[in-house]
Amino acid sequence: MATRYKCDGDTPRPGAADLVKQGRQVIRIEGAALGRLADALDDAFADAVRLILAADRRVVVTGMGKSGHVARKIVATLSATGSPAMFLHPAEAAHGDLGMLTPGDIVLVLSNSGSTPEVCAIMRYARTLGCAVVAMTGRPHSPVARAADVTLLLPDAREACPVNIAPTTSTTMMLALGDALAVTVMGLRGISRQRIQALHPGGTIGASLTPVEDLMHQGDRLPLVALGMPMRDVLMVMTEKSMGLAGVIDDRGRLAGVITDGDLRRHIDSLMVSRAVDVMTRDPRTVPVGSFAGDARAMLAEARITALFVVARDDPGRPVGMLHIHDLARCDIAVSAECLSLVTPDRDRP
């Protein structure tokens, strides 16, 4: 379906090539600025990281207008990566919300101009509490830059806006600099995948970071057969377990291979006179205990298979569980249902 455009008078309708060209120009302007920002990082960045690491309480991020929107995203990223953070709206702060700020907080102030009066008021109050202040600004001699303990300077870069006014390039640099702070601090804190999973129990991240041992089948549910088992008996095991494959184990109980539906088709002419060892595929794909559902999903997709065995971490040849692609789908549904339950009234509750 063709896109309809409203044109005023004789204003020409831009062609697709022109629109794409303009879009690319914006991205290139901002991309070039990000490169300059990366090259401009200096010891002030290291000082800001150390302040966040040493904070007794939270990182309080503030900014007005577009900077405020970026500040909210930085808060979300810091919180999600192990650094407690909150957003303080500069206008609301002047009407009582300054009470949110307490001794031990670190204040991160975003102001490209460096002269936003609302954030200057927050900085003055932070001083009375003994809070350290980090400024993110594009003006080195501005009030915000001069009053901060640490100043992170943005390179002097043109806004991607055609008239060089609307905050575009500057807010992109602020966003990237906030990510750099959060991820660097995260690395120094040694935040593990398990910790990230605890902070993201819902949604796609929560599902992908679910340990495979929480999803796998084990015990009597495992379709395991011996090397010498006749294929007619293997077929019965595969049918009973309904996993779409069987694991073939040796005399020590170690995984020697797997038999899949594809193996059955390839050996269909000799199945009734074959043994498991004759039909199996050697060196099957496996994941160790402690792996995450997202890693298992990627392996299944890469190998174009529907199931794999989970092996012991200290003995990679010993199968302890099995994970099917349907288990991953059920995990996604369960995570979504858990999130939904938080907002769905419990009708059985008195």
The string of pLDDT tens digits covering residues 68-99 is 999 999 999 998 888 889 999 999 988 888 98
Q: Please, which residues have CB within 8 angstroms of residue 32's CB and are 6 or more apart in sequence?
A: 157
All domains in the chain, ordered by first residue: 19-191 (3.40.50.10490), 212-335 (3.10.580.10)
The string of pLDDT tens digits covering residues 308-333 is 888 888 888 899 888 888 877 766 55
pLDDT above 70 for 116: yes
**How many other CB atoms are there within 10 angstroms of residue 225's CB atom?**
24
- Please give the share of the chain, as a percent, with pLDDT higher than 70: 85
Closest CA to 324 of 347, 306, 345, 310: 306
CA dihedral 79, 49, 98, 110 (to 10 degrees): -90
Give residue 228's Cα distance to chain centre. Answer: 46
pLDDT above 50 for 2: no
94-105 burial, b at 16+ Cβ within 10 Å, e below that, comes to: eeeebeebeeeb
pLDDT above 60 for 198: no
Predicted confidence band of residue 38 (pLDDT cuts 50, 70, 90): very high
Whole-number pLDDT of residue 181: 96
What three-state secondary structure class fits 267? Answer: coil
> What is the arithmetic mean of pLDDT over 51-78?
93
Rounded to whole angstroms, the Cα distance separating 43 from 209 reads 35
The string of pLDDT tens digits covering residues 137-162 is 999 999 999 999 999 999 999 999 88
Q: State the chain's mean pLDDT as an integer.
A: 84
127-160 burial, b at 16+ Cβ within 10 Å, e below that, comes to: eeeebbbbbbbbbeebbbbebbbbbbbbbebebb
